[in-house]
Amino acid sequence: MNNSSNVTEHRLSRPVLALVFSTLVGIALVCIRFLATGREQLHLVWNLFLAWLPLIFALNVQRQLRAASPRRWKIFCAASAWLIFFPNAPYICTDLVHLTPPRAGNFWIDLVLILLFAMNGLMLGFVSLYLMQDVVTRKRGAVAGWSFAALVIGLSALGVYIGRFLRWNSWDLLTNPLNVFQHLFEWSANRPTLEHLVMFTALFGTFLFLAHVMLYALTHLHPGTTNESVRDR
């Protein structure tokens, strides 16, 4: 496990650096946007900060597993925190609701900014999911790994719905879990809102799962593959 974990950590260095760079660019653009127009979009920065937490927790799980004598309670706490905060990564996609009407002068600026932050959030989430799926796959096999990923993505889509429409956040699951689930139960007791919940969760979950599959496939695209195919021709 130690050797494979070290390889994974080495392979992660470039993606993480790219995400750090992209995050800093996004924050700089938000600052420039504020200085130029006086309109602040600090909610994007805050949401992106929350999107970094799942990756930090996933890396902590990896670090605990590499320890000489890993402690299960630490792994459990880090994995639980990862699962609770994971929906914050794809949540930024729903910030598109803050766009001004298309005819407004700042529409395209806002669109690019939100898409940049949403892209960073998705990448942060998928990298952390890749790490956790890798842990499950090594212990239980590929089928269990993909089943785990599908389950987490489904729960994440539900979490995004709870955050966007019921206005609860990840902190509330830790500080006020009973009220969160009570509100969700009351919300789903109404047929129109239940249909909306199911439709959104299914569609957003499908989007996230397909995106994860494509990105997972790209991680296994080796540079030598293209060169070999060219030589074969």
Range from 8-12, 191-195, 207-211 carrying the lowest mean pLDDT = 8-12
Q: Are 133 and 86 in contact (CB under 8 A)?
A: no
Range from 91-100, 141-150, 155-164, 216-225 carrying the lowest mean pLDDT = 216-225
Task: Please give the model's pTM, rounded to 2 decimal places.
Answer: 0.86
Looking at per-residue confidence, does 71 or 46 come out higher?
46
Where does the pLDDT of residue 8 fall: very low under 50, low under 70, confident under 90, or very high at 90 and above? low
Range from 43-52, 143-152, 196-205, 216-225 carrying the lowest mean pLDDT = 216-225
* Residue range 118-154, pLDDT digits in tens: 999 999 999 999 999 999 999 999 999 999 999 999 9
User: What torsion do the CA atoms of 186, 172, 117, 115 make, to the nearest 10 degrees?
Assistant: 0
Where does the pLDDT of residue 104 fall: very low under 50, low under 70, confident under 90, or very high at 90 and above? low
Would the pLDDT of 230 be above 60?
no
* Residue range 155-187, pLDDT digits in tens: 999 999 999 999 898 888 888 889 988 998 888
Looking at per-residue confidence, does 53 or 231 come out higher?
53
Where does the pLDDT of residue 106 fall: very low under 50, low under 70, confident under 90, or very high at 90 and above? confident
- Amino acid 165 reads F
What residues contact 145, with CB distance under 8 A and at least 6 apart? Answer: 133, 134, 136, 137
Looking at per-residue confidence, does 17 or 7 come out higher?
17
Mean pLDDT of the chain: 87
DSSP assignment of 32-55: HHHHHHS---HHHHHHHHHHHHHH
Buried b (16+ CB within 10 A) or exposed e, 101-112: eeeeeeeebbee
Where does the pLDDT of residue 34 fall: very low under 50, low under 70, confident under 90, or very high at 90 and above? confident
Instruction: Look at residues 149, 163, 166 and name the one whose alpha carbon lies nearest to residue 205.
Output: 149
